[in-house]
Amino acid sequence: MTEVVLFHHSQGLTPGVAAFADELRAAGHTVHTPDLFDGRTFGSLEEGMGYVEEIGFGEITERGVRAAEHLPQNAVYAGFSLGVLPAQKLAQTRAGARGALLFHACIPVSEFGAAWPDGVPVQVHAKEADPFFAEDIDAARALVSDCADAEMFLYPGDQHLFADSSLPSHDPDAAKLLTQRAIEFLGSR
């Protein structure tokens, strides 16, 4: 059905990210999960962000871009938190992008170009009281306001990585709804 490139968050390519990819595969999609950390995973957001700060946000973004070079261009780009950086850049700048799924984060569109590209639908998913998403909510609102085919879904609660089933922040009910919405989005691409 749809090619998906799914980027992990700052704790790495966790079993929960892999399980999410498997759910999309079970729905008939081809899902690629590039490992931007070369196999490293971290026990906390703080540890993972420490590693990211060592190598730089720009390098993480470029690792994602390089990982997608050999993959089909007509893909939906998805990312969990930190993974939104390469996902959003590719959705905004790579010819043939079919959409974007931005989980737990949203970057100002101006970071990767003047405007969101026409014909590239996008969904943003986050918890309404997530303190990390509080930094991104204005960018998400602007994206939804400026893009005809953009939606934002806010879920009750304050957990950041609530869709990763391998982390303590996992919220099964919200994750189930997020997954359903993502599968519906992919089915329409």
In the beta sheet, which residues pair with residue 46? none
Q: CATH number, domain at 172?
A: 3.40.50.1820
Record the tokens describing residue 72, joined without a space.
């089909």
- What mean pLDDT do residues 102-125 have? 94
Residue 103 is predicted with a pLDDT of 98
Q: What is the pLDDT of residues 35-51, one digit of tens each?
A: 999 999 999 999 999 99
- What mean pLDDT do residues 100-124 have? 94
- What mean pLDDT do residues 114-138 have? 95
Question: In the predicted model, is pLDDT for residue 114 greater than 80?
Answer: no
Q: What is the pTM of this model?
A: 0.96
- How many domains does the chain divide into? 1
Residue 136 and residue 106: Cα distance in Å, rounded? 5
Domain encompassing residue 150 = 3-187
* Share above pLDDT 70 across residues of the chain, in percent, rounded to a whole number: 100
- What mean pLDDT do residues 51-55 have? 95
- What mean pLDDT do residues 160-174 have? 97
Average pLDDT of the chain is: 96
E strand map for the chain: 3-7, 30-32, 75-80, 99-103, 122-127, 150-155
Residue 113 is predicted with a pLDDT of 83
